[in-house]
């Protein structure tokens, strides 16, 4: 069968036209390389910000919020920020490490900051001690910028309509992709109770029978009182009990050749050092220079003076 010349030429021209049209058409992936706008999410944010102003005045600036993070491998941490009268009055942190292959208990860390010591902890995993006003300001600044290429913009509100998340995230990273912006977990409005005062000191036997629990809110530099960073050795239950309760509780029996720790009795400081800091953290740790036991604040003050004297 012969194809007419005119029909064959027409077919060739048609195929050439279609191929040139497809070559000029933009690829679907090219749109992802351009900056994207937040769109209707800006209006949601403005409505949430107006609601926050009303609720903040209603509760007189008293609220708290938490930031939780967990990895796919099992470890994570939680930060709680307590705000009273629009000022951060307390920051609490708790972390749980990844499971050990040999079956050892997972590593845990817990500390709390209050008053002038808020923000002094060097733990970079903890959420910054910021008010919701600052978080709303950060979100507003982020919404004013376009979404970077290969990123997605996320705006999330809670059931009341208050801001929880406003961030950009790289879509090219599958697991635990970092986020840039505001990212908290929950908000609680109203008066927030601070940590309860320390419990009545237990005897060593009672403390052991109670599971060797540490008082709520007690902070230890280094994360755990069960490990001595200066020697690289684990502490015994008697040593931890002495660190936690000192002379307040009944001192447990120790080995005859082992001296008792006396945190309230130490050699005098050099006069040219001046007076030690009045406000100190509530943790208890060995002090440098052979000055016995004391807080981390006192330990840093002693070390600074020792270094200054050595430099002279």
d(CA 63, CA 86): 8
228: part of which helix (H) or strand (E)?
Answer: strand 227-228
Lowest mean pLDDT among 174-183, 221-230, 257-266: 257-266
Cβ 295 vs Cβ 285: under 8 Å:
yes
Q: What does the pLDDT read at residue 263?
A: 47
pLDDT tier at 164, thresholds 50, 70, 90: very high
* Averaged pLDDT for residues 196-217: 65
pLDDT tier at 107, thresholds 50, 70, 90: confident
DSSP state of 288: G
**pTM (whole model) above 0.85:** no
Q: What does the pLDDT read at residue 99?
A: 73
d(CA 99, CA 44): 41
Cβ 258 vs Cβ 150: under 8 Å:
no
Token pair for residue 73?
A: 């491998």
Query: Does residue 274 register a pLDDT over 80?
Result: yes
Query: Does residue 216 register a pLDDT over 70?
Result: no
* Averaged pLDDT for residues 201-222: 67
Query: Is the model more confident about 17 or about 125?
Result: 125
pLDDT tier at 249, thresholds 50, 70, 90: very low
* Averaged pLDDT for residues 208-218: 68
Query: Is the model more confident about 179 or about 11?
Result: 179
Query: Does residue 31 register a pLDDT over 50?
Result: no
* Averaged pLDDT for residues 104-122: 80
Q: What are phi and psi of 79, to 5 degrees?
A: -120, 135
Q: What does the pLDDT read at residue 34?
A: 44
pLDDT tier at 33, thresholds 50, 70, 90: very low
What ranges in 130-261 are assigned the alpha helix state H? 132-143, 204-209, 237-245
pLDDT tier at 172, thresholds 50, 70, 90: confident
pLDDT tens digits along 127-149: 999 999 999 999 999 999 998 88
d(CA 141, CA 124): 23
pLDDT tens digits along 63-102: 999 998 877 666 788 999 999 999 999 999 988 877 777 7
d(CA 292, CA 240): 15
Lowest mean pLDDT among 26-35, 174-183, 303-312: 26-35
133-137, 228-232, 237-241: which is most confident? 133-137
Query: Does residue 214 register a pLDDT over 50?
Result: yes
pLDDT tier at 258, thresholds 50, 70, 90: very low
Averaged pLDDT score across all residues of the chain:
76
Lowest mean pLDDT among 49-53, 219-223, 290-294, 297-301: 219-223
Of 194, 239, 174, whose CA–CA distance to 212 is shortest?
Answer: 239
């Amino acid at each position: 069968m012969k194809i007419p010349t005119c029909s064959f030429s027409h077919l060739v021209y048609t195929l050439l036209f279609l191929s040139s049209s497809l070559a000029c058409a933009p690829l679907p992936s090219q749109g992802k390389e351009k900056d994207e706008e937040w769109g209707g999410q800006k209006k949601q944010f403005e409505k949430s910000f107006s609601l926050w102003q009303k609720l903040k005045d209603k509760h007189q600036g008293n609220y708290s919020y938490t930031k939780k993070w967990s990895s796919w491998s099992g470890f994570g941490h939680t930060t709680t920020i307590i705000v009273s009268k629009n000022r951060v009055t307390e920051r609490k942190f708790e972390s749980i490490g990844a499971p050990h292959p040999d079956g050892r208990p997972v590593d845990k860390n817990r500390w709390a900051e209050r008053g002038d010591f808020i923000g002094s902890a060097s733990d970079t995993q903890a959420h910054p001690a910021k008010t919701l006003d600052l978080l709303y300001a950060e979100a507003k600044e982020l919404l004013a910028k376009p979404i970077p290429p290969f990123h997605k913009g996320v705006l999330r509100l809670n059931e009341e309509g208050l801001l929880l998340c406003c961030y950009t995230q790289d879509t090219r990273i599958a697991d635990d992709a970092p986020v840039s912006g505001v990212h908290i977990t929950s908000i609680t409005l109203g008066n927030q109770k601070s940590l309860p005062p320390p419990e009545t000191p237990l005897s060593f036997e009672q403390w052991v029978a109670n599971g060797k629990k540490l008082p709520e809110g007690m902070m230890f530099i280094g994360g755990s009182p069960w490990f001595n960073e200066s020697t690289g050795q684990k502490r015994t239950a008697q040593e931890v009990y002495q660190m936690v309760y000192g002379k307040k509780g009944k001192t447990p029996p120790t080995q005859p050749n082992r001296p008792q720790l006396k945190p309230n009795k130490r050699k005098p400081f050099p006069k040219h050092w001046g007076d030690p800091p009045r406000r100190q953290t509530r943790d208890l740790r060995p002090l440098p220079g052979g000055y016995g036991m004391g807080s981390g604040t006192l330990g840093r003050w002693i070390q600074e003076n020792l270094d200054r004297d050595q430099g002279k």
